[in-house]
Amino acid sequence: MKKLLLSFLVVSFLLVATNGYCVDKRILLWDNVAKKQTALADGSANQVPFTDGSGTVAWGSFYKVGGTDVPVADGGTGASDASTARGNLGLGTIATQASNNVSITGGSVTGITDLAVADGGTAKSSWTQYLITYADTTTSFSQIAIGTAGQVLKSNGAGSVASFQTLDQSVNHKWNIAVTQPNAMYSAGSTIIPIGTAPANLTVTNIKCNTSSASYEVAGDLKYADARIGLANATVVNDFDTTSGTRDDSTITSGSVASGKFVYLSLDSAPNASMADFTVEVTWDFD
């Protein structure tokens, strides 16, 4: 940066006669207190007179176009070009970016106001640990309170926030089993129809069975055992014997099945050879 030469008032560069003598090649100043002129002492080469604004005039250096770069210590940049000047002043590349078009590719930003959702932030500076974040409005976030052990997160419908709730285990669950060509299966030595493993302690509350015709009957039992292989400790839950091709029984007296037991259907006798199929529906609840 170059300092421009400040304008100043030259009292006189002429030889002026005052009080009976001449001051050779010096600037004469008027002393308003003494009511006389005084000569400004000689300065060094290339210096110019400056005023401090309070009546004192002295010689000083100045910077001109094409002159020496003004050091940072003197209020300059110590450079003759913008790039070097930014370096001398400790300015990074962000110094050349417009306020409406800033690109930050590294580092960190701290101590700022929480960034609004509209600007890509969350408008929050902290969260409660373990809680689940959700959008409570189109422009703000909140958190779902954590439930107790064993509860599940459940939807409360459109327009409502989900919440942790105790699983309703009173809802009926069903096993639906369809058996085709039961006579052929039985004749081949398959007297059991696997259902699966009990997912938890449960109670069977209803058994329904329907054959392909009121003229056909099927006889068998719903059972459980310790495991599929060997069927150890096989236990009858209830039979599903039909009358006129149907059965609907809610009077289950021994419906309890422990978690992990293998549940299956067992045929007591060979079904009618003309029977195309039969179905069994087992309704149960968690204990």
- Encode pLDDT of 82-93 as tens digits: 888 888 888 888
Sequence spans of domains, the chain = 117-165, 173-286
Q: What percent of the chain has pLDDT over 90?
A: 39
| Amino acid of residue 40 | L
**What pLDDT sits at residue 211?**
96
Q: What is the pLDDT of residues 12-32, one digit of tens each?
A: 333 334 444 445 667 777 777
State the pLDDT at residue 1: 37
Strand 28-31, strand 173-180: pairing: unpaired
At 6 the pLDDT is: 34
pLDDT in tens, 237-251: 999 999 999 999 999
**Residue, of 116 and 266, whose pLDDT is higher:** 266
Is the CATH number of domain 173-286 1.10.3720.10?
Answer: no
Confidence of residue 267 (pLDDT cuts 50, 70, 90): very high
| Amino acid 15: pLDDT | 37
Supply the pLDDT for residue 143: 92
Calculate the average pLDDT of the chain. Answer: 83
Least confident interval from 47-61, 139-153, 268-282: 47-61
**pLDDT at position 102, please?**
82
- For the chain, give the percent of residues with pLDDT over 70: 86
Mean pLDDT value across residues 219-236: 96
Distance CA 65, CA 67 (A): 5
Chain segment 149-202, per-residue pLDDT in tens = 888 888 999 989 999 988 776 678 999 999 999 999 888 778 899 999 999 999
Q: CA of 103: how far to CAs of 82, 93, 100, 248, in Å?
A: 20, 10, 10, 73
